[in-house]
A and B are shown apart, each in its own frame.
Chain A
Amino acid sequence: DVKVTQSSRYLVKRTGEKVFLECVQDMDHENMFWYRQDPGLGLRLIYFSYDVKMKEKGDIPEGYSVSREKKERFSLILESASTNQTSMYLCASRVTGAYNEQFFGPGTRLTVL
């Protein structure tokens, strides 16, 4: 079974803090994704990576950066957390190709106070 794990299920941070969200997958997938999910807006792509050290901006990259130093790990960084970044963050991975399903992590519910 493919497993995608995220470092925290729940996280509370203060405005201005630097926040790291970690995602690890164990199936040697090339592609990894970070989404945020908000009520009424669905999942929106923040960044994705199609290989180690490669990254592309998604639809809402502002205020975020990413790092992929190893194939199995994809990190999302909030350089200076703000209250409008309070959300559910979901990581996913898949083998390259639009016909291949994405495997999702359990999500991190981040609250920025």
Chain B
Amino acid sequence: KNEVEQSPQNLTAQEGEFITINCSYSVGISALHWLQQHPGGGIVSLFMLSSGKKKHGRLIATINIQEKHSSLHITASHPRDSAVYICAVGMRNQFYFGTGTSLTVIP
């Protein structure tokens, strides 16, 4: 059983649509991270959350510690948002990763 579950696994959207990716975890955590991986492999960190909500441009991340759930929202999606989005929970020295959500935004 994976400690971190993401949904959906795959998502196709029209340009301009509002997108939500969900992450649920089953363990106590110190922090939750949202990562983005473009084709070719490079991974970059989008957000680190321990409570509440963060916003960066068109991206919004929320976390509910009691429900052990986080969401990543993309407003006014664009083809350049096409990537794999990965949820990771941080515990002490380690991270545990979801399997990722592959997003394709069609012009």
Residues of A near any B CB (own CB < 8 A): 31, 33, 40-45, 48, 50, 56, 58, 88, 90, 92, 96, 98-99, 101-104, 106-107, 109
4 pairs of A and B residues whose beta carbons are closest in the complex: A98-B30, A107-B41, A98-B90, A42-B99
In the complex the two chains form, is B99's CB within 8 Å of A88's CB?
no
A50 to B88, CA, bound (A): 19
Option from B2, B90, B91, B93 in Cβ contact (under 8 Å) with A48:
B93
In the complex the two chains form, is B95's CB within 8 Å of A42's CB?
no
- Total A-B pairs, Cβ < 8 A: 56
Chain A residues positioned under 8 Å from B94 (CB to CB): 45, 48, 58
Chain B residues positioned under 8 Å from A104 (CB to CB): 42-44
In the complex the two chains form, is A101's CB within 8 Å of B33's CB?
yes
A21 to chain B, nearest CB (A): 14
A48 to B98, CA, bound (A): 19
In the complex the two chains form, is A88's CB within 8 Å of B41's CB?
yes
B35 to chain A, nearest CB (A): 8
User: Does B50 reach chain A (CB closer than 8 Å)?
Assistant: yes
A41 to B86, CA, bound (A): 12
Please judge, given known A-B contacts A99-B30, A99-B48, A101-B48, whether A42 and B97 are in contact too, CB under 8 Å: yes
A107 to chain B, nearest CB (A): 3
B window 67-84: CB within 8 A of A: none
A88 to B100, CA, bound (A): 15
A31 to B92, CA, bound (A): 12
Chain B residues positioned under 8 Å from A102 (CB to CB): 33, 45, 88, 95
Chain B residues positioned under 8 Å from A48 (CB to CB): 93-94
B9 to chain A, nearest CB (A): 8
User: Does B65 reach chain A (CB closer than 8 Å)?
Assistant: no
Chain A residues positioned under 8 Å from B11 (CB to CB): none
A13 to B93, CA, bound (A): 32
Considering only CB atoms, which chain A residue lies closest to B42 in the complex?
Answer: A106
A36 to B75, CA, bound (A): 31
Chain A residues positioned under 8 Å from B98 (CB to CB): 42
Chain A residues positioned under 8 Å from B92 (CB to CB): 98
B window 19-66: CB within 8 A of A: 29-31, 33, 40-45, 48, 50
